[in-house]
Amino acid sequence: MRLAIVTSGFLPVPAVSGGAVENLIENFLNKNEEYKKIEITIFSIYDNRAFTESKKYNQAEFDFIKPNILVKCADKIIYFIAKNILRKEKTMSFRYICQRLYFLNKVSKKIKKSDRYDKILLENHPTLFMCLKKRKNYKKYEGRYYYHLHNEISNAYGCIDLIKNCKNNICVSQFILNQLSNFLKVKNPYNFSVLKNCVDQKNFQKKLNNEEKNEVRKKYNINEQEKVLLFTGRFTKEKGIKELILALKKVKNKNYKLLVVGSFFFGTNIKNGFQLELEQLIENMRDKVVFTGYVPYDEIYKLYAIADISTLPSVWDDPAPLTIIEALSCGLPIITTYSGGIPEYVNERCAIILKRNEDLIENLAKSIDNLLENDNLRINMGQESLKVSKQLTVDNYYFNFLKLLE
């Protein structure tokens, strides 16, 4: 099989700038290097580091698309207007508009000219269907294009019929499958499937010796007695980081340190009003809360290695967050919420799953106190996490993906 994968058009693959979808694609590519089942072409936005990393692949060919200076300037102007004049709340939606349009147009031309690909896989955003709609590529690849959906969609961008006619709409959770079928108004869809996400567990199960652990703890000013709470992800309201910090103000056991790992927008130093609000919120808690900033994906395992509890109190319908699978793979007890696809990935033996209601902050505080005080509970939950994680390996992901494509 010769498969072409169309990526987002704003974060590169290999995933040198982070991104959940980009990391999943990289996991798939790495396994294909090992098993050599298919030939892959990756359409990705150009990045110097990604270009260098791509050289290590033998089973994948990378077609990097590099925007010109006019495209970059236009995006900077649009972003400036959205942020500073229109004061849009979700400014990152305006960060790469021209770049992505440029990218999709280039991809459309390339797949129109080429007869190399047996199948086309579109990764996540419905705007990617424009590369099929343009030049009527959907006719050329009829019955041979697939959609891998990671998030809810609310706009098909004029491509609703193309989505309906996919050979397979591959969803990261039953929650996303249900949302997509409702959006498309399709009952009993025959061409919908669920493929659960994964992480490369060997990267997260690396062991640190005591000296290495002490170095990490020293770096973040964590003393020997403090338990480590871990929050990883982007600083956005829907991830529940504000609720978590407010809950910590109510926690009775003060023998902890919270590591907040990540940034507002992946590997950038961009800040928004919400992140500044968080920094003000911890003004009197700086001895208990540490913002690590962006940590490269291949370094995050060190923070999991010193963690005692993983927290992800999402306040939106989180489709299938990789941070949950990372915590499972590291054998950590988890505090999370009944949100989106999360309950499909955890159970009540490895996670405290809270309702998203007016008592969330209070219940978060009680749950944290409970786990901080109860060593046996943390150990038992952690063991269950490892059991659950065995179904979420990259090997399972790779071969299940191939079945859906074949």
Per-residue pLDDT averaged across 65-87, rounded? 90
Query: Would you call 344 exposed, middle or buried from its count of C-beta atoms within 10 A (0-12, 13-18, 19+)?
Result: middle
Among 78-87, 104-113, 323-332, 344-353, which is the least confidently predicted range? Answer: 78-87
The string of DSSP codes covering 190-234 is TTEEE------HHHHS----HHHHHHHHHHTT--TT-EEEEEES-
pLDDT tens per residue across span 361-388: 999 999 999 999 999 999 999 999 999 9
The conformation of residue 171, written as its DSSP 8-state character, comes to: E
State CA 207 to chain mean position distance. Answer: 24
Let me know how long the chain is: 406
**pLDDT tens-place string over residues 80-130:** 898 888 877 777 777 889 999 999 999 999 999 999 999 999 999 999 999
Phi, psi of 387 (to 5 degrees): -65, -45
The Cα–Cα gap between 243 and 237 comes to 9
Q: pLDDT digits over 252-277, tens only? A: 999 999 999 976 544 445 556 787 88
CA distance 96 to 100: 6
Range 64-82 average pLDDT: 93
If one looks up domain 2-196+393-405 in CATH, what number appears?
3.40.50.2000
Average pLDDT over residues 168-193: 95
Task: Please give the C-alpha separations between residue 178 and each of 149, 152, 157, 182, in angstroms, as whole numbers.
Answer: 12, 10, 20, 6
pTM of the model: 0.92
In the chain, which segments carry CATH 3.40.50.2000? Answer: 2-196+393-405, 201-389
pLDDT of residue 265: 46
Fold designation for 201-389: Rossmann fold (3.40.50)
Which token pair is 305?
């290695």
The pLDDT, as a whole number, for residue 268 is: 47
Q: Taking all residues of the chain, what is their mean pLDDT, rounded to a whole number?
A: 93
